[in-house]
């Protein structure tokens, strides 16, 4: 039983054309035996001669054709002999012996199998009962283990079909493995070489038999004897050392003078920059206050205006009382009342205008909330993802439709067109709001067609705009556009809701005024705004400025306490107004923007019970004081002690808040001041000069500044924790603001 392996051979087509067509299809299998009992099998057409077979084998074995010799029954075969001249056995196989004509050369028969591709199917001839039959045999190539990837079975025939798998083997190594195990590739041969050679010298001396000239000889005579004291005096080592020390000390003094001069000029420059920055900040503050007075936008701005009106009213009342009496006094009070009413009416008109602008902004924010893509930061590589859904696209279409509807400068045809678009949009809705909108649109279109002026249609148009906006907000009518916004709002409204007894509503914690002296949240900000009987109008802008100065100073000195960041602007107002009575403890200066709350004792952290209210210049001098008892009198020290005791009583919960936030900040780089999450603040942020004994320690920190956005983030986190801390307390005591 032999197999037919088809190896690549180059056919000589000129030679093939000479053969008959019948012999071309007739093939004979030839077995080649070598002297070392190796067998190689190849099929050739019957018309091939020995010369062509030898050339084919030489190309296959990668050797010269002259060294290949063929023997048949131990006899050499001539080169012109053809295969069909031999008598094959009953299986059609011829057996030749393959020898090398060169004794020093061995035919590499293994080269024939290097690039051999194993066939999937071979044909085998089998003899049984004197009958030769051909059987197809499938070869399973185990060179590479192919995994089972599943398959399917035919339901009718039951034949299983497996999924195919294609995989190539590893590449052939460029260097054979046997070459990598050689000793020469693993051991480095070293050689020892000498770097210095032997060198021999000789000397000569004059003798009887040798004459050496004395022309170059030198005669040395001993000099006078020198004692150790004389040698030391001659060398003068101490004098030379003193000279070196004198020059070295002079160089060191010059170097130190240059450093001190550079430090002096640097401090002078920083002081000038700080003064210039203070001047610019003061100008910016004045401009900002002027803009707030002329164009108020927030509740703090209107509180400042009402506070100005109250102060003006009090000063006018004092003037009238001091100058007038009787009927003139009554007339003056009447004129004052009319003027006050006029001023309050103008402020209310400004509030109404701002309220309308806020309503428009609220509508725009609503459409932006439903039209902006949904964005979030992925946990994988912190990638920012933006997803635009069908609902957000529909929300932008609603916004465009609403903008065109609210445009007051549309022509008659354009307005009729937008009304037609709205009616077309509402055709698929059967709610009562859509029917009412369609009825109003028909009514407006009829009036426009009759030539009615647009001034008489303003009311109907506003009703249509309001109803369309309400229809867009209805969750059942807007095709799920507001689902995401309503979900976010629901999650926000279900957390930290507090009941306000004044308006009898549940409101989030952001709607309540928070300060460090609160025990329990009771009245929301809206109710406090309406009821000013208990709390007068207060302008908190200067106290915010003072609080910012306190926080900047504490950051600059790397304070570990969080009290300065827990304190709010209302707490600073209470501390300045009711504890320190609104003036400096030394000079009685009552300009709020010139006052600073600085540390009383420099070694302790800032707190309401460790501060003093002074002007800027007084604060700078106070921070240079080393011993308070040596500078201030005993009566003044007792006065400050009483102020601190009163402040500690009013802010009795502040110490527990500080301990809570200090423990909470441990391990959190965003809240830990010792971490590298924040940069150190710039000295220009604080207008109080650092004491001279600490200036050298902070010399390298003058060029660094803290990121304001990260500071605001930290303050917001602290404010949120204050709210949670106050909300969790069960103490029912409530102290008045005054």
Q: What is the DSSP string of 489-524?
A: HHHHHTSSEEEETTTTEEEEGGGB---TT-SS--SB
Pairing of strands 160-162, 68-71: unpaired
d(CA 689, CA 274) in angstroms, rounded, equals 9
pLDDT digits (tens, 9 = 90+) for 420-470: 888 888 888 888 888 888 888 888 888 888 888 878 888 888 888 888 888
Which pair of structure tokens corresponds to residue 224?
């006078």
Mean pLDDT of 624-650: 90
Give tens-digit pLDDT for 511-523. Answer: 777 777 777 777 7
pLDDT value of position 4: 36
Mean pLDDT computed over 104-119: 73
**Across 495-510, average pLDDT:** 79
More confident residue, 144 or 314: 314
Which distant-in-sequence residues (6+ apart) come within 8 Å of 601 by Cβ? 610, 628
Distance CA 349, CA 342 (A): 11
pTM of the shown model: 0.52
Q: What is the DSSP letter of 593?
A: G
Task: Give the pLDDT band of residue 668 (cuts 50, 70, 90).
Answer: low
Question: How far apart (Å, rounded) are the C-alpha atoms in residues 152 and 225?
Answer: 119
Q: In whole angstroms, give the CA distance from residue 542 to residue 573.
A: 9
Q: How far apart are CA 731 and CA 738, in angstroms?
A: 19
CA dist 400 and 378 (Å) reads 31
In our burial notation (b when 16+ CB lie closer than 10 A, e otherwise), range 361-399 reads eebeebbebbbeeeeeeeeeeeeeeeeeeebbebbbebb
Calculate mean pLDDT across residues 593-613: 90
Whether the pLDDT of residue 2 is over 70: the answer is: no
Res. 488 pLDDT band, cuts 50 70 90 = confident
Lowest mean pLDDT among 237-251, 517-531, 622-636: 517-531
**Beta-carbon contacts of residue 731 (< 8 Å; ≥ 6 apart):** 519, 520
Please give the pLDDT value at position 79.
82
Instruction: State the Cα–Cα distance between residues 578 and 515, nearest whole angstrom.
Output: 15
Q: Is 7 left (phi over 0), alpha (psi -120 to 50) or beta?
A: beta
Q: What is the pLDDT of residues 183-208, one digit of tens each?
A: 655 566 667 776 666 767 666 777 77
Look at residues 147, 153, 151 and name the one whose alpha carbon lies nearest to residue 162.
151
Q: What is the average pLDDT score of the chain?
A: 78
Q: Which whole number is the average pLDDT over 496-525?
A: 78
Nearest Cα to Cα of residue 29 among 96, 74, 118 = 96
pLDDT exceeds cutoff 70 at 489: yes
Confidence of residue 666 (pLDDT cuts 50, 70, 90): low
pLDDT surpasses 60 at 687:
no
Segment 356-405, tens digit of pLDDT = 888 888 888 888 888 888 888 887 777 888 888 888 888 888 888 888 88
Provide the percentage of residues in the chain whose pLDDT is more than 90: 13
Instruction: Assign 90 to helix, strand or coil.
Output: coil
Contact status, residue 538 vs residue 630, Cβ threshold 8 Å: no
- Whether the per-residue pLDDT at 681 is higher than 70: the answer is no
For residue 703, is pLDDT > 70?
no
So what's the pLDDT on residue 8? 36
Domain over 27-113 is classified CATH 3.10.20.90: yes
**Annotated domain spans of the chain:** 27-113, 237-289, 299-364, 377-476, 539-666
Q: How confident is the model at residue 136 (pLDDT cuts 50, 70, 90)?
A: confident
Share of the chain above pLDDT 70, in %: 79
Higher-confidence position of 70 and 669: 70
How far apart are alpha carbons 87 and 366 in whole angstroms? Answer: 101
Q: Which residues contact 443 (CB under 8 A, 6 or more apart)?
A: 460
pLDDT tens digits, 304-335? 888 889 889 989 999 999 888 888 888 988 99
Residue 113, pLDDT above cutoff 80: no
* pLDDT computed for residue 144 by the predictor: 62
* Whole-number Cα distances in Å, 270 to 42, 559, 596, 715: 98, 23, 21, 28
Of residues 582 and 207, which shows the higher confidence score? 582
pLDDT over 80 (residue 110): no
């Amino acid at each position: 039983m032999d197999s037919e392996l088809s190896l690549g051979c180059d056919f000589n087509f000129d030679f093939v054309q000479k053969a008959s067509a019948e012999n071309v299809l007739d093939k004979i299998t030839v077995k080649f035996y070598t002297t070392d009992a190796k067998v190689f099998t190849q099929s050739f057409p019957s018309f091939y001669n020995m010369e062509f077979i030898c050339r084919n084998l030489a190309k296959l074995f990668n050797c010269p054709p002259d060294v290949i010799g063929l023997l048949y029954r131990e006899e050499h075969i001539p080169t012109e002999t053809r295969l069909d001249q031999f008598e094959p056995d009953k299986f059609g196989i011829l057996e030749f012996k393959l020898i090398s004509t060169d004794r020093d050369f061995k035919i590499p028969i293994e080269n024939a199998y290097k690039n051999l591709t194993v066939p999937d199917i071979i044909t085998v001839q089998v003899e049984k009962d004197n009958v030769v039959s051909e059987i197809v045999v499938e070869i399973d190539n185990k060179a590479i283990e192919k995994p089972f990837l599943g398959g399917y079975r035919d339901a009718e025939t039951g034949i299983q079909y497996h999924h195919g798998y294609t995989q190539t083997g590893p590449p052939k190594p460029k260097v054979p493995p046997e070459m990598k195990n050689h000793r020469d590739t693993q051991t480095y041969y070293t050689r020892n070489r000498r770097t210095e050679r032997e060198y021999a010298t000789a000397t000569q001396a004059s003798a009887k038999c040798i004459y050496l000239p004395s022309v170059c000889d030198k005669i040395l005579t001993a000099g006078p004897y020198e004692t150790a004291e004389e040698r030391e005096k001659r060398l003068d080592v101490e004098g030379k050392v003193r000279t070196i020390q004198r020059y070295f000390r002079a160089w060191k003094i010059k170097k130190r003078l240059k450093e001190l001069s550079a430090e002096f000029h640097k401090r002078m420059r920083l002081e000038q920059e700080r003064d210039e920055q203070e001047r610019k900040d003061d100008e910016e503050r004045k401009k900002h206050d002027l803009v707030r007075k002329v164009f108020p936008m927030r509740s703090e701005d209107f509180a400042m205006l009402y506070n100005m009106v109250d102060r003006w009213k009090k000063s006018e009342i004092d003037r009238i009382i001091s100058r007038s009496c009787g009927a003139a006094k009554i007339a003056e009070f009447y004129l004052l009342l009319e003027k006050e009413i006029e001023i309050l009416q103008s402020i209310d008109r400004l509030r109404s205008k701002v309220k309308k602008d806020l309503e428009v902004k609220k509508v725009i924010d609503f459409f932006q909330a439903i039209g902006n893509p949904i964005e979030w930061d992925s946990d994988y590589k912190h990638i920012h993802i933006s997803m635009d859904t069908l609902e957000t696209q529909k929300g932008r279409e609603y916004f465009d439709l609403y903008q065109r509807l609210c445009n007051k400068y549309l022509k008659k045809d354009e307005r009729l067109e937008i009304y037609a678009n709205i009616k077309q949009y509402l055709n698929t809705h059967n709610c009562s709001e859509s029917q009412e909108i369609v009825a109003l649109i028909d009514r407006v279109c009829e009036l426009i067609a009759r030539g009615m002026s647009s001034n008489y249609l303003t009311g109907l148009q506003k009703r249509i705009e309001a109803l369309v906006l309400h229809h867009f907000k209805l969750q059942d009518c807007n095709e799920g556009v507001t689902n995401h916004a309503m979900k976010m709002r629901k999650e926000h409204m279900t957390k930290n809701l507090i009941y306000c007894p004044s308006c009898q509503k549940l409101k989030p914690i952001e709607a309540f005024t928070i300060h460090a002296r609160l025990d329990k949240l009771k009245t929301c900000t809206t109710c406090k705004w309406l009821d000013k009987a208990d709390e007068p109008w207060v302008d908190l802008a200067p106290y915010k400025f003072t609080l910012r100065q306190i926080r900047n100073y504490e950051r600059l000195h790397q304070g570990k306490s969080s009290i300065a960041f827990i304190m709010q602007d209302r707490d600073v107002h209470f501390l300045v107004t009711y504890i320190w009575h609104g003036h400096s403890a030394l000079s009685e200066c009552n300009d709020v923007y010139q006052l600073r709350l600085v540390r009383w004792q420099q070694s302790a952290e800032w707190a309401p019970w460790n501060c003093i209210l002074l002007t800027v210049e007084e604060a700078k001098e106070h921070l240079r004081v080393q011993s308070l008892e040596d500078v201030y009198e005993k009566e003044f020290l007792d006065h400050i002690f009483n102020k601190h005791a009163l402040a500690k009583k009013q802010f009795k919960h502040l110490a527990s808040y500080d301990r809570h936030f200090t423990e909470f900040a441990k391990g959190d780089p965003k809240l830990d001041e010792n971490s590298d999450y924040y940069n150190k603040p710039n000295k220009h942020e604080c207008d109080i000069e650092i004491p001279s004994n600490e200036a050298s320690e902070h010399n390298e920190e003058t060029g660094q500044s803290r990121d304001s956005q990260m500071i605001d983030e930290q303050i917001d986190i602290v404010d949120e924790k204050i709210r949670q801390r106050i909300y969790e307390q069960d103490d029912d005591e409530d102290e008045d603001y005054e």
